[in-house]
Amino acid sequence: MQGDVLGQVGAAVGGNFVITFTTTPANATVTVKDEKGKIIEPSTDKMYKLKAGNYTYDVVAEGYFSKTEQKLPVLEDGTVEVTLDKKLYVTFILNPTDATLVVKDGSGTVQTAQEDHTYELKAGMYSYSCSKEGFKSVENVSFEMKDTEERKTINVSLQDASIYGVRRQISSSSTAWERIENGSNKTAKAQTSASAVQNDFDNIAPWKNIRSCDVSANGTVNAYIGDPTYNPTSPKGYIMTEVPEFWYKRQQTSGYEYIYISAVEQSGYTKSNKFYIGRYTATGSSSTATCKSGATNLVNITLPNMRSAAKKIGTNWGQLDILHWSIIQMLYLVEYADYNSQKMLGYGVCNGSIINTGTLDTLKMKSGCLSNDKKHAVIYRGIENIFGNIYQWCDGINFTDSQAWVCTDPTKYESDKFASPYTKLSWKCPSSDGYIKEVGIDTNFPALQLTKTTGGSDSTYIPDCSCYDSGSGVLCVGGVYSGDLYCGLWSFYWSYDSSFSRSDVGGRLLFTPV
Average pLDDT over residues 3-18: 58
How much is the pLDDT for 337? 98
What percent of the chain stands above pLDDT 70? 97
How much is the pLDDT for 196? 87
How much is the pLDDT for 5? 47
Q: Which of 115-119, 341-345, 505-509 has the lowest mean pLDDT?
A: 115-119
Is residue 410 a part of any domain in this protein? yes
How much is the pLDDT for 14? 57
Average pLDDT over residues 270-284: 98
Is pLDDT above 90 for 383?
Answer: yes
Domain boundary among 50, 67, 83: 83
Domain boundary among 63, 83, 103: 83
3-state secondary structure string across 309-360: HHHCCCCCEEECEHHHHHHHHHHHHHHHCECCHHHHHCCCCCCCCCCCCCCC
CA-wise closest residue to 487 among 503, 504, 511: 504
How much is the pLDDT for 3? 42
Is residue 251 a part of any domain in this protein? no
The SS3 of residue 72 is: strand
18 and 127, same structural domain? no
How much is the pLDDT for 401? 95
CA angle (368, 458, 373) in 5-degree steps: 40
What percent of the chain stands above pLDDT 90? 94
Average pLDDT, the chain: 95
The 10s digit of each residue's pLDDT in 446-478 is: 999 999 999 999 999 999 999 999 999 999 999
How much is the pLDDT for 4? 56
98 and 52, same structural domain? no
174/178 Cα distance (integer angstroms): 11
Q: What is the DSSP letter of 295?
A: -
Is residue 396 a part of any domain in this protein? yes
482 and 364, same structural domain? yes
98 and 76, same structural domain? no
CATH number of domain containing 19: 2.60.40
98 and 154, same structural domain? yes
Going by pLDDT thresholds of 50, 70 and 90, the confidence category of residue 324 is: very high
199/336 Cα distance (integer angstroms): 9
332 and 446, same structural domain? yes
Is pLDDT above 60 for 436?
Answer: yes
Is residue 173 a part of any domain in this protein? no
Contact (CB, 8 A) for 471 and 494: no
Which residues constitute the domain of residue 113? 88-160
The 10s digit of each residue's pLDDT in 134-150 is: 899 999 999 999 999 89
Task: Report the amino acid identity of residue 367.
Answer: S
Number of domains comprising the chain: 3
Strand 275-278 and strand 509-511: the pairing is antiparallel
Going by pLDDT thresholds of 50, 70 and 90, the confidence category of residue 2 is: very low
Contact (CB, 8 A) for 64 and 85: yes
Average pLDDT over residues 117-123: 96
The SS3 of residue 304 is: helix
Average pLDDT over residues 176-193: 96
How much is the pLDDT for 413? 98
CA-wise closest residue to 322 among 260, 415, 241: 415
Is pLDDT above 50 for 85?
Answer: yes
Is residue 425 a part of any domain in this protein? yes
499 and 397, same structural domain? yes
Q: Which helix (H) or strand (E) holds 8?
A: strand 5-8
CA angle (459, 261, 435) in 5-degree steps: 20
What would the DSSP string read from start to end of 82-148? EEPPBPEEEEEEEESTT-EEEEEETT-PBPPB-TTSEEEE-SEEEEEEEE-TTEE-EEEEEEEE-TT
Q: Which of 10-24, 226-240, 390-404 has the lowest mean pLDDT?
A: 10-24
Domain boundary among 83, 102, 121: 83
511/261 Cα distance (integer angstroms): 22
72 and 100, same structural domain? no
Is pLDDT above 50 for 9?
Answer: no
Strand 151-157 and strand 88-95: the pairing is parallel
Is residue 330 a part of any domain in this protein? yes
Q: Residue 472: CA atoms inside 13 Å, Cβ hemisphere, count?
A: 10
Is residue 370 a part of any domain in this protein? yes
How much is the pLDDT for 194? 83
Going by pLDDT thresholds of 50, 70 and 90, the confidence category of residue 8 is: very low
Q: What is the DSSP letter of 191?
A: B
How much is the pLDDT for 484? 95
241 and 152, same structural domain? no
Average pLDDT over residues 483-496: 96
414 and 351, same structural domain? yes
192 and 94, same structural domain? no
287/218 Cα distance (integer angstroms): 18
109/465 Cα distance (integer angstroms): 64
Query: What distances in angstroms separate CA 354 from CA 184, 295, 357, 451, one per listed residue?
Result: 38, 12, 10, 27
11 and 123, same structural domain? no
Is residue 183 a part of any domain in this protein? no
Average pLDDT over residues 299-308: 98
